[in-house]
Amino acid sequence: MGDQDDLSAEFDAVIIGAGVLGGAIAVELARKGMRVLNVDKASAAGAGSTINSCAIVRFSYSTAPGVVLAWEGLHYWTDWPAYIGTDDELGLIEFHQCGQFNLILNEDDRSSKVRTLWQELGIPFEDWGLDDLTERTPFLDHGRYGPPKRPDDPHFWDDPNGTITGAIFTPDAGYISDPQLSCHNLQRAAEASGAEFWFNAEVTSIDRADGRVSGVVLADGRRVVAPIVVNVAGPHSAVINQMAGVYDSMKIKTRALRHEVHHVPAPQDYDFMANGTVGADDDTGIYFRPETGNNVLIGSGDPDCDTRKFVDPDNYDMNLSQDLWEAQVLRANRRIPTLGVPHEKKGVVDLYDVSDDWLPIYDRTDLDGFYLAIGSSGNQYKNAGAVGHLMAELIEAVESGHDHDTTPVVVTGRYTGWEMDVGFYSRNREVNPDSSMSVHG
């Protein structure tokens, strides 16, 4: 293996993970003049869980800080070429700003609470009645079928028990064309400021010295010496935290959750790619958006009737399951009766990194120099740019001596000027009672 010195490298910061959040943090730290290294066990940027992200950009969060972060995050996508600030030989992503509607079931449902937050914060939105829904989404059934059920429930096919009230529509929402390409764009932006990326580089241990983190060791024997390590390992975040010895000291933990999204052809004679929007339907327990090839991507809102499958992130079933396929596609057919159920299952299986209350952890840890951007729960992709900025400001403040645990860092949004209290995302918070406890945040 040669001399040990040949296997060592020194950086100011090591970021574990080159998904969308890891890439954004690398951009921000590198632009602060730090020598940054991203290491990822996958073969390319965004080849982990980010590659299968639904990449929906929305603001329908159940807490005010969640909405604030998402609204700030929007502006990175609308300003993407300027934010990236360099060329990418693969091109830049496209933001399809098609808007999103959230169906309203009654005046006390989750969407009504989101509406209140939007009003308080000044998020642009429209109130849609049933006539508006008919005009904008002619394929949509207006019946109430909830609460969400499994297809084997004897009441699954019951007639509707009333009608939905309407919807709230936010025209600024949409989705990103290619989530993995967004990571490559971030890689090129970070590299333009001097960052390095090592792929096929699995972390096997976390070094510490004199009471703080001192670097990482990789599976091939290379040792990276750095006074700052950032855990952005997605579904492997708990594994990395255990390596670092900080897992047990955190009040809020993370676990890897297996999930599926499915793709079906759009209703016949409807150009869903051109005219479709993102939709969220708590009544049937699904969300959907346009997908390439005039398809509809269908995801689960994680209703109570579905068993959550927490798994070993290195050993789980990657095949689409018949029961989930039927559940999600048949639920979608309750809302979109002309959708149909294709014989061939199409979709993807991947993992969410889920915290105890489904809200992310953006924080320092009890190990000095070791930071967390984890628990992204399948709903933080859209926030990548804002999270990169937030984490870089947090790291700079703490490394300069700020006691974040006692007096949480407050970051001013680069685009909105809104204040973001990083303490909201603390590893030591109590489970947040306002969380939807689902991918809808």
Residue bearing tokens 């299968």? 52
CA–CA separation, 37 and 39 (whole Å): 6
Selection from 152, 217, 285 nearest residue 9 by Cα: 217
pLDDT at 432 over 90: no
Superfamily of domain 4-91+178-253+357-425: FAD/NAD(P)-binding domain (3.50.50.60)
Nearest to 302 by CA among 258, 341, 264, 342: 258
DSSP E strand boundaries for 338-393: 347-355, 361-364, 370-374
pLDDT at 1 over 50: no
**Contacting residues for 90 by C-beta, under 8 A, at least 6 apart:** 181, 184, 185
pLDDT of residue 6: 64
Query: What does the pLDDT look like over 276-310, one tens digit per residue?
Result: 999 999 999 999 999 999 999 999 999 999 999 99
The CA-based angle 217-218-219, given to 5 degrees, is 130
Which pLDDT score, from 0 to 100, does residue 435 have? Answer: 85
Query: Distance of CA 27 to CAs 18, 150, 370, 392, 416, Å?
Result: 11, 44, 18, 9, 20
Has residue 441 got a pLDDT over 60?
no
Alpha-carbon gap, residue 329 to 384, rounded angstroms: 30
406 has a pLDDT exceeding 90: yes
Task: Report whether 167 contacts 104 (CB < 8 A).
Answer: yes
Q: Quick check: 440 pLDDT over 90?
A: no
Which of 3.40.640.10, 3.30.9.10, 1.10.20.140, 3.40.50.300 would CATH assign to domain 100-171+255-355?
Answer: 3.30.9.10
Q: For 31-72, how does the pLDDT look when each residue is reduced to its tens digit (9 = 90+)?
A: 999 999 999 999 999 999 999 999 999 999 999 999 999 999
Q: How far apart (Å, rounded) are the C-alpha atoms in residues 55 and 348? A: 14
Q: Is the pLDDT of residue 5 over 80?
A: no
Query: Is residue 241 within 8 Å of residue 250, measured between CB atoms?
Result: yes
Report the pLDDT value the prediction gives residue 438, as an integer from 0 to 100: 83
pLDDT tops 90 at residue 200: yes
Tokens of 140: 């949509």
Name the token pair of 139: 């394929």
Q: Strand, helix or coil at 161? A: coil
pLDDT in tens, 305-331: 999 999 999 999 999 999 999 999 999
Q: Radius of gyration of the chain from Cα atoms?
A: 22
Query: Taking a C-beta distance cutoff of 8 angstroms, is the pair 173, 56 a contact?
Result: yes
The lowest-confidence range among 107-116, 322-331, 429-438 is: 429-438
- The pLDDT of residue 7 is 81
Compute the mean pLDDT over every residue in the chain, rounded to the nearest whole number. 96
Cβ atoms 58, 70 nearer than 8 A = yes
3-state secondary structure string across 42-93? CCCCCCCHHHHCCCEECCCCCCHHHHHHHHHHHHHHHCHHHHHCCCCCCCCC
Closest alpha carbon to 271 in 298, 295, 297: 295
Residue 375 neighbours by CB distance under 10 Å: 27
- State the chain's maximal CA–CA distance in angstroms: 74
pLDDT above 90 coverage of the chain, percent: 94
Q: Classify 208 as helix, strand or coil.
A: strand
| Domain ranges for the chain | 4-91+178-253+357-425, 100-171+255-355
pLDDT (tens digit per residue) in 82-105: 999 999 999 999 999 999 999 999
User: Tokens for 244?
Assistant: 């670092």
Give residue-wise pLDDT tens across range 117-156: 999 999 999 999 999 999 999 999 999 999 999 999 999 9
> What's the confidence (pLDDT) of residue 378?
87
- Position of tokens 């499994």? 150
